[in-house]
Amino acid sequence: MPETLKFHFTPVDEARAEEKNVHEKASTNVADTIEVLQSQFPGAIAKVSVYAGEYTAFVKRESLLQVCTALKETLGFTYLVDLAGVDRFCEDAPRYEVYYAIVNLDTGKRLRLKVLVDEEDAVVPSLTGLFKAADWNERECYDMLGIRFEGHPDLRRMYMPEDFAYHPQRKEFPLLGIPGSLPLPPRVPEGELTMDPFAAARSGSPAKSYQEPKGEDA
């Protein structure tokens, strides 16, 4: 079978930090907070990147808890807004990263931290002890990407049932799903189950739930 050809127009253009973004907000300018962290914990922040006026501090995994404790206790970043994982799926290790969005309600600043996680050792210290809000987000990250959170009191799956064996947001998980990965009832009240929910993955067409009227010539 010949390979399916598809034309991809991919104008790859590197991000330029110096370009002024029209949607830049004053609240994301947290250079001073990052400086404080850098002086307080030398070597904890591996890299700082800026895009669209948003600062991202790449924190080393072993100093994440220290940094977050300092942020919460002394720097006033008390409100955890978001926590999620990203599958980088690239040549240069590590494969995953977890990002944290924390807000300081008093000064009106928004900070983003990132932790790089290796594929073989996908464990990150849990923030549930500091922020109760991290609970469900960490569960979701575990469910979707399989990153484990050390010290989480209740690391169950968030969306998928416990009977499911995969982590669907990893890049290698097929978009159409894996046939047989979810136990489905063998029969419905009307009789045997005839419809195949994974028809698309098996390269068939899904069964119609209605009867099409017959054409005049039929």
Return the residue of 41, 66, 94, 99 that touches other proteins, per CB under 8 A. 99
Residue 172 binds to other proteins (criterion: CB under 8 A): no
Number of residues that bind other proteins (CB under 8 A): 61
Q: Which stretch binds other proteins (CB under 8 A): 31-39, 47-55, 63-71, 202-210?
A: 47-55
DSSP labels, 18-53: TSPPTT--GGG--HHHHHHHHHHSTTTEEEEEEETT
Q: Which stretch binds other proteins (CB under 8 A): 58-66, 72-80, 119-127, 200-208?
A: 72-80
Return the residue of 2, 42, 43, 161 that touches other proteins, per CB under 8 A. 161
Q: CA geometry: angle at 66 spanning 65 and 69, to 5°?
A: 80
Closest separation in Å from C-beta 146 to other proteins: 14
Q: CA geometry: angle at 140 spanning 128 and 62, to 5°?
A: 45
**Residue 148 in contact with residue 138, Cβ under 8 Å?**
no
Q: Which is nearer to other proteins, 28 or 38 (CB)?
A: 28
Q: Which is nearer to other proteins, 37 or 80 (CB)?
A: 80
If DSSP codes are grouped into helix, strand and coil, which group holds residue 64? helix
Cα separation, 82 vs 100, in Å, equals 6
Q: How far is C-alpha 134 from the geometric centre of its chain's CA atoms? A: 13
Return the residue of 46, 74, 159, 179 that touches other proteins, per CB under 8 A. 159
Cα separation, 98 vs 109, in Å, equals 20
Residue 23 binds to other proteins (criterion: CB under 8 A): yes
Q: Which is nearer to other proteins, 41 or 84 (CB)?
A: 84
Q: How far is CA 6 from CA 3, 9, 105, in A?
A: 9, 10, 49
Residues that bind other proteins (CB under 8 A): 8-16, 19, 21-23, 25-28, 51-52, 54, 56, 78-82, 84, 86-87, 99, 101, 103, 105, 108, 110, 112, 131-133, 135-136, 144, 154, 156-163, 168-169, 171, 173, 175, 183, 185-187, 189
